[in-house]
Amino acid sequence: MNQTAPALAESPTRRRLLEVGRRLFAQRGFAGTSVRALTREAGTNLGAVTYHFGSKEGLYGAVLAACLEPLRRRLEEIGRQNLPALDGLEAMVRGFFRHLAENPDMPRFMVQELVLGEHPHPEVVETIRAVLGALTAVLRKGQKEGSIVGGDPVLQALTVLSQPVYLSVVPAVLRKGGAGWEGIPRPHSSPEEHGVSILRRALASGRAP
């Protein structure tokens, strides 16, 4: 383990490094962000990253944790509420939409880690484990109770997950627009309400009332 300074919430240098790290890592990726750039932007001395986080890797892990831990906690909390399966799924989907609205840089981290990178960071793997675990648990429960249609619960979980992810990322891309985007259709209603109702249609067994 690295020897690092205690994570005092009130340390302004530590907080500034986290903010700057989050912005630069999201923009340029881990490899494209130097300790020099981080400390220059944060207005600290060159040793501050090592002092507060042990290394650039340590800062990166802290940035990912700040982005991903609240999502894991949110889903686990919903899981513990033990709602009827379709309601539990809806709560998780809405929680995911909210998390993406509050963390618009999350898709950049995820595609850098999972689509472009080779070895995802443990924080990312842990998030996949928690998200797929929470979703498949509810789906299996619903299948057993008869409220959710049969099928591979992992693929069903990916379909559930695809809605908040895809319906948050793509409309944001379409909204940016630019030259050449004239005439490209854009959504006119709430992606979240659409995602929730389409998933209920897709997954409700039809046997439940």
Interface with its own copies in residues 138-167 (CB under 8 A) = 149, 151-159, 161-163, 165-167
Q: Does 188 bind its own copies (CB under 8 A)?
A: yes
What distance in Å separates the CA atoms of residue 134 and residue 139, rounded to the nearest whole number?
9
Among 54, 70, 84, 133, binds its own copies (CB under 8 A): 133
What distance in Å separates the CA atoms of residue 81 and residue 76, rounded to the nearest whole number?
9
Q: Does 209 bind its own copies (CB under 8 A)?
A: no
Q: Does 197 bind its own copies (CB under 8 A)?
A: yes
What distance in Å separates the CA atoms of residue 10 and residue 24, rounded to the nearest whole number?
22
Q: Does 127 bind its own copies (CB under 8 A)?
A: no
Residue that is written with structure tokens 């944001």 in the block: 172
Among 34, 194, 207, 208, binds its own copies (CB under 8 A): 194
What distance in Å separates the CA atoms of residue 19 and residue 41, rounded to the nearest whole number?
10
What distance in Å separates the CA atoms of residue 113 and residue 18, rounded to the nearest whole number?
19
Give the residue among 108, 81, 206 at the shortest CA–CA distance from 150: 206
Toward its own copies, which CB reaches closer, 5 or 161?
A: 161
| Binding site residues, its own copies, CB under 8 A | 107-108, 111-112, 114-116, 119-120, 122, 125-126, 128-129, 132-133, 136, 149, 151-159, 161-163, 165-167, 169-171, 173-174, 178-181, 183-189, 191, 194-195, 197-199, 201-203
